[in-house]
Amino acid sequence: MRAIRLYGDAHATAEFLRAIPANIGRLVYEGPRLAFFEDLLGIAERDQFSEVNEVVPVHVNHVDAIPAELTGRVWLP
C-alpha cells in the first residue's frame, strides 16, 4: 500500500486492489492504510472519468478496509 501511494497512479491502485483479497486490507497498519484510502477516495472525488472507471469497481470490494475516519467520504456508484 505504501509503494502504491508513493509511486502509483489510478491504474496501479486498481491492479493492487484486484490482486489482494478484500479481507487483507483490514490487516495493514493504519497509517499506510489511511494514506492509501485517502488517495483512493481522492481519485473518485476528482471525478476524472477514466480514473474513476478504473478504481471504483475494485474499490467497492474493499470498503470494509477503509479506516473509520474516512467513512464519511466513501464514494460508491
User: Model confidence over 17-54: pLDDT tens digits?
Assistant: 899 888 888 888 888 888 888 888 888 787 777 888 88
- Euclidean distance between CA atoms 22 and 64, whole angstroms: 8
Mean pLDDT, the chain, rounded, equals 81
How high is the pLDDT of residue 76? Answer: 46
List, in order, residues 6 or more apart from 52 with CB less than 8 Å away. Answer: 43, 44
Per-residue pLDDT of 21-30, as tens digits, reads: 888 888 888 8
How high is the pLDDT of residue 26? Answer: 82
pLDDT category at 77 given cuts 50, 70, 90 is very low
